[in-house]
Chains A and B, each alone.
Chain A
Amino acid sequence: MRDVIVIGAGGGGPVVAKELAARGLDVLLLEAGARNADPDSEWTDLENDANGFTKGYLRMGPSDRSKPPWFRELPQNSYLWQVSGVGGTTLHYFGNSPRAYPGTFSGYAGPDAGAYDTAHRFPFTYEELVPYFEWVEATLPVQTAPMGTKEQVWYQGWERMGVAVQRGKDVTHDGYRPQQNAILQPGGTAGRTTDRALLQHPQATGCTFCGYCLQGCKNPPGAPRNLKAKRSTDTSYVPMAITADAWAPGGRAVTLVSDAFATRIRFSRDLLGRATARGVTWRDTRTGETVTEDATVVVMANGCVEGPRLWLNSGLPNPNGWVGRGLTDHAFDWLVGLFPFDTDSSRGAQSQARADFPARGGMENVGLPPASEGISLALSDSGIRGAYDNGAGPTGAWDGQAGRPLGAELKEVQGDIDRQLNVLILTDDDVEASNRVDLSALPPDEHGRVARVRMGKRNRSARTRANRDFLATRAAESLRAAGATKVIRIDMAPLMLHVQSSMRMGTSALDSVLDADARARWVRGLYVADNSALANACGGANPTLTTQALATRTAEKIFATHFGGDPWVGSEAPVVSTDPRITAALAD
């Protein structure tokens, strides 16, 4: 009998696990994918080896890469880009850690208050979450991103447009700024040389500008795991969780089990029919063995797709039908500008600068290696430029119709990757019931019925579509102001890389699964602590930091409600994940 079982070691689960382990609870952390114990020997930085659709080491599938990936039904042109394994989708994230926009929270009374998704606000105030933002920012840590050439070009564009700089962490007005990234700033030789011999840790510390965020961060070479530059949870919260006895007074190390695919949440009903979570059953993906453990509290953190799937496959109650509904994805779009001078787009952390437009969304500069750039150019809902437009192909501040540049134009666009500059559009998209995760009509796999993920694009709300078009226009204008001689809008088909709110918390019991404490409304002892718990799309801010702040708050709620403890955020000082005690414990 455990105190707590956390399902999923991605962006949110390890946060709850670490926080409760630091309080001395007996925590079991399950992860369906690989342990990723030694990136220095297991990862290569090569694109297909890392991000290959079916066999990459950063895929959604079992640790045995000779086995097929886990299938999910996508009944539309789209790409669902999630990663299994310890670290989850933070393994390939860019570390971008902006705070959610204040206008997405209850109690917001700014002049633009009516311009957000007002029907689906967070069920508490922004001010209440700020101490948790600060706690996570100190723990990871989150730091202001440095500047390379691609950032310099980005800033020049916005300067020439006369847009203001956003100076603080709280987004209060339209503006551009350096990213707040969960990436250690470069120190020593990092960012100053290409010589591998000179980039060994500790001669180099922090980001070395290698340009491989998407392939998993293992630099600087030779750095201990918790001193790698990017603060994915495999380098931050997981090391803290499994060494909690070494750095937290009274702490107890988390038990981490990888290759453990949760197939059922066990629950019982009392005489009144009320459900209580009792434990978790999982399947060892290497042996096929089925294992069950009980716990006082179960925390689901297995993601926006697998979470609803597990809930539905477990037969848990779903009286309002909102399990899996309300999925948001920031309605991504992509623009690429071609420049007559070097942008060094392929170098440096893959996004180090952004712009925010509260109540509209945000956007960020992105530099990618060539194959990943290729898929970004090809994932369009608007056909092939110059050939057909699929009934879409919008025109505007960009050149020609939106769509895929293929054939001779692809060769032109890709002819010099270091003279490109990409903009990723992060729309403040609405929670809509029809965008959802449910169970496929196809036969089950070894873990039960598989998930179907439906994400409309053309039938998104009028506000979502208007926001997306507004942001694409501003992005095209900024690229031209920066000196681009050609700007292409892709009009992306759904690229579900930021997925949120499929098990959302909400102010109303009619359209939410969780209450304001991230507790399941209809199951005692069951909580959710990943992006699916978010009430909405955070206004278009990258979701991980908000999820981690919320997960910290949820850990406090669990500790107080089920274990009689007191909250600690605000009364204690956080320990940073680079603390030497953690480094030493990992070495042991």
Chain B
Amino acid sequence: MNTAVEKRKINPYLTHKAEILKIFKETEVEYTFRLESDFNLNFGQFLEVSIPGYGEAPISVSNFTDEWLELTIRKVGKLTDKIHELQEGDHLYLRGPYGNGFKLENYRDKNIIVAAGGTGLAPVRSLIEYANNNLDDFSDFEVLAGFKNAQSLLFERDIKRWRENFDVLLTVDQTCDIWGECVGLITEHIAELHLDNIENTEIIVVGPPPMMKYSIIEFQKLGVPDDQIWVSYERKMHCGLGKCGHCKIEDSYVCVDGPVYNYADVKEIKD
């Protein structure tokens, strides 16, 4: 029996207790928690994650298989402080999955460029992992990942693995301290990309709002049409069910209609 699914049918607000199988310390403030899972997940979806008594927060699933899922959680408040105290063998309480996620059919057989800023890499990591294992599903696959500095680098072990199969360009805003690699804002590197086959290219941009805004401008300058750009938005998704209203932008509920949008549909949307 799929207990997470069954529980959701009875009452979508009730949570599913999941054991922490492994904890990866990504940075000082960001840990990845691998949890047992029987959720049916799509790339880029999120869960409502909680510890009873400490509240609930929307967290992107940063990778998953049929047996486990991973959540990359930054320590920023009451709940996440408590989560960071947990050890392997402890439990988190989950409900979901929520949101549309990245639908593979939009990217299959295309040249894919993923531009991710900081923790924006988390919601696309499962798609990148899929590409790493199924490179034939794409015509080409490339990742540009921007971080503030070496201390904020996420998924170091993955990036090394991915590089065996496709290009992963790392940029660092402030210094030149990640593996002695390139320096500068992600936008500068987008400008230098050579896109041979734009009509068969799909771009995925995820990160902090300013990074997304300026990255999109650079892709537009390269001639990428808006409807070939995909974004994932972060908002305050309190219920995940399209009820609580906190994540609504115009007539769209990010928790239901998003968080992944085709940029052509949302380029004029205003919070």
Q: Verify that A and B bind, or say they do not.
A: no
List the interface of chain A (C-beta within 8 A of B): none
List the interface of chain B (C-beta within 8 A of A): none
